[in-house]
Amino acid sequence: MTTSTGRRAEHVLLVGSNGGHLAQLLALRPWWHDRRRTWVTFDRIDSRSQLEGETCLWGHHPTTRNIPNMLRNLVLAVRVLRRDRPDVVVSTGAGLAFPFFVVARMLGIFTVFVEVYDRIDNSSLTGRLCRPFSSLFCVQWEEQLALYPDAEVIGVLL
């Protein structure tokens, strides 16, 4: 992947909730394995075990309808993105992604959102929120193009 400047993305910020969202980001390993990367997820047992040895930052949970945690994650996004200036922010959701996409877009950082594989009949809330802030919006199924006509089909990750 190249950024909007046409250069290879060397530093990747991978943002996603734990569980299935994290599993889908991990499935992108062939793409990110040889890049410098930082992860932002929730401090949970599965995240800690799956990301052992990786550079991790812990977001504030829960995010669903939790305005104080959304604001905490917004502050985290500002701090991390201004300090680290990654070449690209990649996310599969969920709520943790939105503040990072807003701030990344404001700072001119390339953003890639991958809609989750289990949303074929309707779009995810995070997908709808992040789409306007996405430099590249990806889907995993051809059928998802009905929801996101200008998306890029990348195939199923899991």
- What is the average pLDDT score of the chain? 94
Q: What distance in Å separates the CA atoms of residue 89 and residue 76, rounded to the nearest whole number? A: 14
Q: pLDDT tens digits for 59-109?
A: 999 988 899 999 999 999 999 999 999 999 999 999 999 999 999 999 999
Confidence bin at 2 (pLDDT 50/70/90): low
Could you say which DSSP state residue 86 is in? -
Secondary structure element (H or E) that encloses residue 20, with its range:
helix 20-26
Domain spans in the chain, listed from the N-terminal domain onward: 11-153
Model pLDDT, residue 8: 87
Confidence bin at 119 (pLDDT 50/70/90): confident
Could you say which DSSP state residue 8 is in? B
**In this predicted structure, which of 2-11, 58-67, 118-127 has the lowest mean pLDDT?**
2-11
CATH entry 3.40.50.11540 includes domain 11-153? no
Torsion of CA 127, 129, 131, 135, to 10 degrees: -120
Model pLDDT, residue 5: 61
| Residue 41 φ/ψ region, left for φ over 0, alpha for ψ in the -120 to 50 degree band, beta for the rest | beta
- For the chain, the C-alpha Rg in angstroms (whole number) is 14
Q: pLDDT tens digits for 75-89?
A: 999 999 999 999 999
